[in-house]
Amino acid sequence: MIKLDLPPKPIQLTTELQSRLTQEYKDTGKTVWKIDWLKTAVSDMSFGKCCFSEIRLCEESKYMEIEHFHSKNRYPDEVMEWGNLMPSCKKCNGTKLEHDTLNEPIVNPFVDNPKDYLFFKNYRYYPKNKNEIGHRTIDVLGLNDHNHFVSPRFKIGNEIIERLHDFKEIIQHLEVAGKRIRFISRLKNLLELGNREEEYAALVSTTILSDENFNDIKEILKLKGIWDDEFERLTTELEFCALLEE
In a domain, 99, yes or no: yes
For residue 48, what are the contacts with CB-CB under 8 A and spacing of at least 6?
Answer: 56, 57, 58, 87
97 and 156 fall within a common domain: no
Q: 106, 136, 164: which is the final residue of a domain?
A: 106
174 and 228 fall within a common domain: yes
In a domain, 236, yes or no: yes
In a domain, 227, yes or no: yes
In a domain, 153, yes or no: yes
pTM of the predicted protein model:
0.91
70 and 156 fall within a common domain: no
Amino acid at 104: E
152 and 96 fall within a common domain: no
Tens-of-pLDDT digits for all 246 residues of the chain? 999 999 999 999 999 999 999 999 999 999 999 999 999 999 999 999 999 999 999 765 567 889 999 999 999 999 999 999 999 999 999 999 999 999 999 999 999 999 999 999 999 999 999 899 999 999 999 999 999 999 999 999 999 999 999 888 877 666 655 567 788 889 999 999 999 999 999 999 999 999 999 999 999 888 888 889 999 999 999 999 999 997
CA angle 118, 121, 123 (to 5 degrees): 100
In a domain, 31, yes or no: yes
Report CA Rg, the chain.
21
Domain coverage including residue 98: 15-106
- pLDDT at residue number 58: 76
Number of C-beta neighbours around residue 230 at 10 A: 12
159 and 230 fall within a common domain: yes
For residue 195, what are the contacts with CB-CB under 8 A and spacing of at least 6?
Answer: 201, 237, 241
Entry field: residues in the chain: 246
80: phi then psi, degrees, rounded to nearest 5 = -120, 20
- pLDDT at residue number 167: 87
Q: 84, 106, 128: which is the final residue of a domain?
A: 106
Q: 77, 106, 135: which is the final residue of a domain?
A: 106
What's the number of domains the chain is made of? 2
In a domain, 201, yes or no: yes
In a domain, 233, yes or no: yes
102 and 150 fall within a common domain: no
- pLDDT at residue number 13: 96
- pLDDT at residue number 181: 75
In a domain, 4, yes or no: no
226 vs 229: CA distance, rounded Å: 10
